[in-house]
């Protein structure tokens, strides 16, 4: 299921494409209509919330398998020539960099602190 060294797995390719679309959305050369579509595609690809939940057999994964590639295709049609390839190369290079465990720990700590703060506020409001 994993990819070979010269061909990444489907999940890694999806992460690379979503990152490339995010980079395209931030590029000033991107037309506004394409920029909005890029943001929608990247948000849908990276969001844990789907139109059809993944636990529904077949349909849950089918929406990801159809909507995301269709969005990527449409984005590539709206962009100037070469722009998507440029950002895809940047996203691929970024995917090959090592992951910062300290950065991940910091993000988790911030989320935990925010959850604790929210819990404290809720408890204080109901006491």
Quick one: pLDDT at residue 100? 74
Helix (H, G, I), strand (E, B) or coil at 127: coil
Q: Strand pairing partners for 7?
A: 4
For the record, the structure tokens of 24 come out as 């395209």
- In this model, does residue 118 exceed pLDDT 90? yes
Between these two residues, 81 and 114, which has the higher pLDDT value?
114
pLDDT digits (tens, 9 = 90+) for 1-53: 455 556 667 777 888 888 899 899 999 999 999 999 999 888 888 777 777 77
For the record, the structure tokens of 54 come out as 């993944």
For the record, the structure tokens of 100 come out as 């910062």
The helix, strand and coil proportions of the chain, stated in percent and rounded to the nearest 5, come to: 70, 0, 25
- In this structure, are residues 20 and 90 in contact, taking their beta carbons and an 8 Å threshold? yes
């Amino acid at each position: 299921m994993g990819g070979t060294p010269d061909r990444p797995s489907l999940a890694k390719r999806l992460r690379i494409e979503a990152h490339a679309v995010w980079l395209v959305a931030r590029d000033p050369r991107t037309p506004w209509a394409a920029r909005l579509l890029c943001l929608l595609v990247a948000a849908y690809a990276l969001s844990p919330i789907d139109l059809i939940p993944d636990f529904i057999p077949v349909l849950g994964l089918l929406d990801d398998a159809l909507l995301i590639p269709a969005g990527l295709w449409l984005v590539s049609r709206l962009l100037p020539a070469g722009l998507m390839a440029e950002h895809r190369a940047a996203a691929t290079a970024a995917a090959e960099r090592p992951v910062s465990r300290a950065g991940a720990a910091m993000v988790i700590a911030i989320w935990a602190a925010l959850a604790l703060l929210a819990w404290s506020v809720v408890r204080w409001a109901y006491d």
